[in-house]
Amino acid sequence: MRKKKNKPLRIILCVLAALILIAGAYAAYVFIAYHRLPDNTALQVRSAADGTLEPGTPQRLVSFNTGFGAYEPDYSFFMDGGTQSWAWSKERLNANLAAIADFLRNEAADFFFLQEVDENATRTYHINEKALMEAALPGYDCVYAENWDSPFLFYPFTQPHGKTQCGVMTFSRAPIASAVRRSLPVENTVMKLVDLDRCYSVSRVPVTNGRELVLFNAHLSAYTSDGTIATEQMNMLLGDMAAEYEKGNYAVCGGDFNKDLLGDSSRYFGVSGADYTWAQPIPEGTFDSLPLTLVASSNAPSCRTADAPYNPNQFVLTIDGFIVSDNVRVLDHQVIDTGFAYSDHNPVSVTFELAE
């Protein structure tokens, strides 16, 4: 009789022990699988361009965080407080990627910088978005740099986010001679499992005067504990750009900085961001002693918060923009207002020319 009374308790204990074992095994897998790519990794260049790059000739660059093709206006993301962990469906994802490809072809810029392009990810049904973007722009040299390769994330439990290989892509109408991936500093605590790996790519385009246009395609961290790492990332990037200028080269950076590039975007767009702490301004004085200029547009926001579907009362801001060296003359810049039709970001553009 006593054995029968203890049987339910033994079953419960066995189930708890199994759950603890599974949780421990998963935690071990996440830590063991975590890795970072080496710094200064050489990148393969797809050679297709046959143009030349001359000083004094206007050049147009469009930078676009594509939101892995999932962020239609009705999309929200679980890591930002929303509900979705995958794109809505494979069919809707393909349609949105096709719209992004059409947008790029219609813009016909001299250079494109893309961020958050999945190469192989659960959240995007393992569609190779890198290959799709390459096919959309066949007459350009192209460089892909893996930003992160995350272990399988078993959350949310109803639809686990899974494993993600995601990167940044650089396209150029003028030939790219070489490219490398620079590894950015990231959190060294357990936060690194959220912050993942981070990088920017550096692509070198020869100019007819013997110099180089050095293109920096950046996607800096959004999820950090206290902002220290974000500042270290920015300082590293700016240091590399300034070093190229000192060599006599031209330096242009574009991308998603995950910083409020306008200082306080609510002054421009009318919605307070007091409840959001992830996009802080770049510290004052950052550019004071550098041969570099920040280029950020306020004609429209470049990013919406993703804790809910897009609506006119949502907090919006500008975190996408450019940094140029002092020997690069900016002729025009703007946010291309798509109404967040394809991503939680609007594309941004800059037209510039290289000084003699």
Is pTM beyond 0.95? Reply is no
Taking only the tens place, the pLDDT of each residue in 332-349 is 999 999 999 999 999 999
Nearest to 217 by CA among 17, 57, 65: 65
Nearest one of 258, 217, 208, 281 to 57, comparing CA atoms: 208
pLDDT above 80 (res 247): yes
User: What's residue 240's pLDDT?
Assistant: 98
Interacting residues of 131 by C-beta distance below 8 A, sequence separation 6+: none
Amino acid 157: pLDDT: 85
Q: What is the pLDDT of residue 1?
A: 46
Find the mean pLDDT for residues 300-319.
95
Structure confidence at residue 312 (pLDDT): 87
| Segment 135-143 mean pLDDT | 97
**66-99 pLDDT, tens per residue?**
999 999 999 999 988 899 999 999 999 999 999 9
Residue 3 in this model has a pLDDT that exceeds 60: no
Mean pLDDT of the chain: 91
Query: Which pair of tokens denotes residue 220?
Result: 């800096």
Which of 15-19, 258-262, 272-276, 334-338 shows the lowest per-residue confidence on average (mean pLDDT)?
15-19
Among 228, 203, 205, smallest CA distance to 216 is for: 203
> Residues 253-267: what's their mean pLDDT?
96
Query: 38-71, pLDDT tens digit by residue?
Result: 899 999 999 999 989 999 999 999 999 999 999 9
pLDDT band per the 50, 70, 90 thresholds, residue 297: very high
Poorest-confidence range of 2-16, 56-70, 198-212, 293-307?
A: 2-16
Predicted confidence at residue 93, as pLDDT, reads: 98
Q: What's the rounded mean pLDDT across residues 268-282? A: 88
The predicted pLDDT at position 33 comes to 58
